[in-house]
Structure formats: structure tokens, C-alpha cells
Amino acid sequence: MIPIAGTAVLTAAQMRAAEEKAIAAGTGVDTLMQRAGAGVADAVRRLAGVNEVLVLCGPGNNGGDGYVAAARLHAAGPSVRVAASAEPRTPAAIAARALWTGAVEPLATAAPAPVVVDALFGTGLSRALDTDVSTALNRFVSHANLAIAVDLPSGIATDDGALLGDLPAFHVTLALGAAKPAHLLQPSAVHCGAVRLLPIGVTTDSDVRVLSRPDLPAPAIDAHKFTRGMVAVIRGRMAGAAQLAAQAAMHAGAGYVEILGATIPGAPHALVRRRCDDSALADPRIGAVLIGPGLGRDDAARALLDQALATDRPLVIDGDALHLVTPERLHGRPAETILTPHAGEFAALFAASDTDKLTAARAAATRANATIVFKGPDTVIAAADGRAVLSPAASSWLSTAGSGDVLAGAIAAMLAGGGTPLDAAAAGVWLHGEAARRLGPAFIADDLAEALTGARA
């Protein structure tokens, strides 16, 4: 049972292909199911202690994992019962069913237990749950002190995170072999609870990974302020937003941060204030220009955006600027671009799409030839080359004014520090989430910017 941070994320088809490759190399599906069931039994034993366990088994291989786990739990001592929604159908699940020598109760009439293990459906779910199944599942979970899902909570779509039924929320989900998009995308992720990976000896490879703590070493012994990264934040109509972003860039580790625009006197005194003209933007020491926080959407804002787009410096585009730019204008840029839209800004920039958030972000990244940070409770970071990083949900207290300005500043600092756009964006998202975690409830964006220092520690 290991954390999913940094691990590969596979779709149902990619997982099946990985399984087939393992089978072709000599590891049978029964062996894989034994490994999965043994891993589930081990995890359940550790989490459930001496409490009675009810394992719910479906007709496919997810159910097969459940029968193996139940048999192993029984052999290890805890009190176990099994309830099934249907007879097993696959050869591996039929063989696994034969290992369970106890009764198999009907789902509709089985009594609840303090610990429920859901092995009804996994990656093979192909349509909405029948009402009687979802009613029973809700009944068991509502009566349990601990609800554990095998691979995925039954009723969520593996690849896009859609809910295919009226689902309860689980405490723990044991991802078999690899994390799946549904463990991270909403609305399904919130139903998974804590997700832990159970490796089953299948080689998993993917362009998509789960966000992990970035490797951010202290500055080299001979570092100076410009080698640590210089960030230029373009100030627009609302001075406070640019100031927050600039403070975030400083606390995230940039060595030199300046605000370009009409000056705002006062603290922090380490913040440099300068006029926004072409010569300021042409400074070759600038590692990242940030435009958008509090920019406004008027002609003055458009002129500032034109100036920013004309530079050959790496650029982070946030907030209002996302309403003024078009994907096509970014194509010819001679330097990297990172866009940080929330759902509304994403729709304004790329038009609403009915695909899932991961697919939409990857398509947008290719279209704009930029790295996209598609923000929300399931932030997706996508690079133009197809790679992507999925962030587990961060603190819901991040839903506060100025939080996005802080994120944009943190990302600009990471980009100026020399990371690739994908790594810089991922590091900024991680620092932002970690700062929020450290702050606990009801912080304000100013606190968040300052807390980036501690998050880097």
C-alpha cells in the first residue's frame, strides 16, 4: 500500500494493455488476481483490525479480486462475509469464487458490517449502476465505519471521473497496479477518499503522472539574486493582485522580483518597482514575465498584453489576460508560455468542451503550444508534447480571493528558476497546495503568499 504521488496514471484501456503484456510475458491473469486479492486482504486486515468485514463481489475480475481477498482474510482470522450482485462470469473470477468456501449472500438482503469492501465493479464498468445495486451499496457504506473500494468505487467511470449512479463516498480506495484518472478528476475523486496504490507486478507507463513534491534544492553556494530567477510582474488596473503575485514569487524562492507599472509605495521593500516599457521587458536577466492578475480588460490592458507577447522571455498568462489572448497568438512565441485558467477562463479561451478535463487540457496545450494549468479541485497540468500531471485535491480553503494570483506568482518563480514549463507549473501547484495545507482554515491570500516560504522548506 503506497502513496500515489509521482506514479503513472493509466486509463482502463492502458491498464488492460499492461495486463495483456504481463500475460503474454508469462504471468497469468489468475496470478495477477491472486496478487491483487492478496494486496487487498493485507490492506484490509491492517485497516480493519478485528472488525467484521463484508466483501461485496461483482461479476467480473473486480469481483474476482474480492473473492480472493475474502478467502485470504478468512484464512488470516478476521470475521468475513461475502455478498454478490451476480454470479462470476470471467474464468478468473469463477476460479476465484471457488476459493471462497463460505456462504455468498444476496446483495439486497445481506446485513451490513463495520467494514465494507466494494469489489462490485472496477475498470470494466460500462454503464450506470442498476438502482438496486446502488441502493445496496449506499446502505452498506452508510452503516460501515470504514468503506474500502477495490480499484475504484463501483459506479465511477475510470477515464473521465463521471459518476454513473448515486454513489456513496469511500474512506479508502486501493488502486490496483496504477492510479486511474478517476482517482484524481472530479466529481469522482472526492468519492475515493484516500487513494493508495497496490502494485501487482504489472509494468505501467504513461505520459500522465500524479503530482508529487518537487525537488527544489537550496541555491548553489555561488548563487546570486539573478541566478535564482528574476520575475517581472506586469501591473494592471488592480495593483493589489500584481503585488500578491509578486510577493508569492519572492516567497516561492525567486531571487529578484519587480513590478512593472505605476509604483505602489510601501512594503515589501525587497520588491523593485519600475515603469513598464519595452526596455524593462527586454532585460535579458528576466526568467519569467507574469501578466494577468488584476490586469483589467480595457485598451490599456490589451496594450500591456501586446508588450508582454512581444518579448522573447518565458511568459505566465493568468486572470484577465486569458480573456484577451487567443491560442493562435501564442503559437509563434519564441519562448515558453504557461496559461493558468480556471474553468471560466478555460471556456473563454478554448470554448466549452464536453470532453473530460484531462483530455480538454491536453488538447488545449497542443492547440496553444503552451503549458496549461487548468485549475480547480482537480487541477490538470498539461504540456504541449502530451505529458500531463494530475493534482490530488488541495485544501478547499484555497477558494479565496487572490489565491490564483499567488499561484501564478509561484509558477512564475519556478519558471524563472530554470524549470521546464511542465515542472515549473507542477512545482508551483504543489507549493500552493502545501502552503494551504500548512495554514489550515480561513487563511487569506496574503498569508498564502508568505506561507510559500515554509512550503519550500
Per partner kind, with CB cut-offs from 5 to 8 A, the member of ligand NAX, K ion, none near residue 59 is ligand NAX
Residue 14 or 403 having the CB closest to ligand NAX: 14
Residues 7 and 179: beta-carbon distance below 8 Å? yes
Distance from C-alpha of 354 to C-alpha of 305, rounded to nearest angstrom: 30
Distance from C-alpha of 437 to C-alpha of 192, rounded to nearest angstrom: 20
| Least distance from ligand NAX to the Cβ atom of residue 35, Å | 7
Q: Using CB under 6 A, which of 15, 174, 384, 406 touches ligand NAX?
A: 15
Binding mask 120-149 for ligand NAX (x = CB under 6 A): -xxxxxxxxxx-------------------
Beta strands in 136-237 (DSSP E): 146-150, 172-176, 194-198, 208-210, 230-234
Residue 63 or 409 having the CB closest to ligand NAX: 63
Distance from C-alpha of 346 to C-alpha of 360, rounded to nearest angstrom: 9
Nearest CA among 177, 230, 220 for reference residue 27: 177
Distance from C-alpha of 430 to C-alpha of 255, rounded to nearest angstrom: 20
Per partner kind, with CB cut-offs from 5 to 8 A, the member of K ion, ligand NAX, none near residue 118 is K ion
Per partner kind, with CB cut-offs from 5 to 8 A, the member of K ion, ligand NAX, none near residue 123 is ligand NAX
Does position 89 bind ligand NAX by CB under 6 A? yes
Largest CA distance in the chain: 79
Residue 373 parent element (H or E): strand 371-374
Stretch that binds ligand NAX, among 70-78, 118-126, 262-270, 420-428 (CB under 6 A): 118-126
Three-class DSSP category at 454: helix
Does position 88 bind ligand NAX by CB under 6 A? no
Annotated binding site for AMP, which residues? 375-379, 404
Residue type, 42: D
Per partner kind, with CB cut-offs from 5 to 8 A, the member of ligand NAX, K ion, none near residue 129 is ligand NAX
Helices and strands in the chain: count of H runs, count of E runs: 16, 18
Does position 151 bind ligand NAX by CB under 6 A? yes
Residues 233 and 245: beta-carbon distance below 8 Å? yes
Does position 65 bind ligand NAX by CB under 6 A? yes
Residues 148 and 118: beta-carbon distance below 8 Å? yes
Contacts to K ion by CB under 5 A: 118, 149-150, 154
Distance from C-alpha of 301 to C-alpha of 297, rounded to nearest angstrom: 5
Residue 191 or 333 having the CB closest to K ion: 191
Three-class DSSP category at 233: strand
Binding mask 17-46 for ligand NAX (x = CB under 6 A): --x------------xx--x----------
| Least distance from ligand NAX to the Cβ atom of residue 188, Å | 14
Per partner kind, with CB cut-offs from 5 to 8 A, the member of K ion, ligand NAX, none near residue 55 is none
| Least distance from ligand NAX to the Cβ atom of residue 65, Å | 5
Residue 36 or 146 having the CB closest to ligand NAX: 36
Residues that contact ligand NAX, how many (by CB under 6 A): 32
Residues 415 and 314: beta-carbon distance below 8 Å? yes
Residue-wise over 434-456: b if at least 16 C-beta within 10 A, else e?
bbbebbeeebebeebbbbbeebb
Residue 63 or 168 having the CB closest to ligand NAX: 63
Residue 105 parent element (H or E): strand 104-106
Distance from C-alpha of 429 to C-alpha of 418, rounded to nearest angstrom: 16
Per partner kind, with CB cut-offs from 5 to 8 A, the member of K ion, ligand NAX, none near residue 89 is ligand NAX
Annotated binding site, which residues? 61-65, 118, 122-128, 151, 154, 241, 294, 342, 375-379, 404-405
Residue 260 parent element (H or E): strand 256-260
Query: What are the CA-CA distances from residue 406 to residues 126, 216, 436 (Å)?
Result: 41, 18, 11
Query: What are the CA-CA distances from residue 316 to residues 340, 413, 418, 424 (Å)?
Result: 8, 10, 14, 11
Residue 64 or 261 having the CB closest to ligand NAX: 64
Stretch that binds ligand NAX, among 58-66, 242-250, 399-407, 424-432 (CB under 6 A): 58-66
Distance from C-alpha of 369 to C-alpha of 358, rounded to nearest angstrom: 16
Residue 63 or 341 having the CB closest to ligand NAX: 63
Residue 123 or 188 having the CB closest to ligand NAX: 123
Does position 153 bind ligand NAX by CB under 6 A? no
Q: Using CB under 6 A, which of 202, 244, 425, 452 touches ligand NAX?
A: 202
Residue type, 370: A
Residue 106 or 454 having the CB closest to ligand NAX: 106
Q: Which residues bind ligand NAX (CB under 6 A)?
A: 15-16, 19, 32-33, 36, 58-65, 89-90, 121-130, 150-151, 176-177, 200, 202
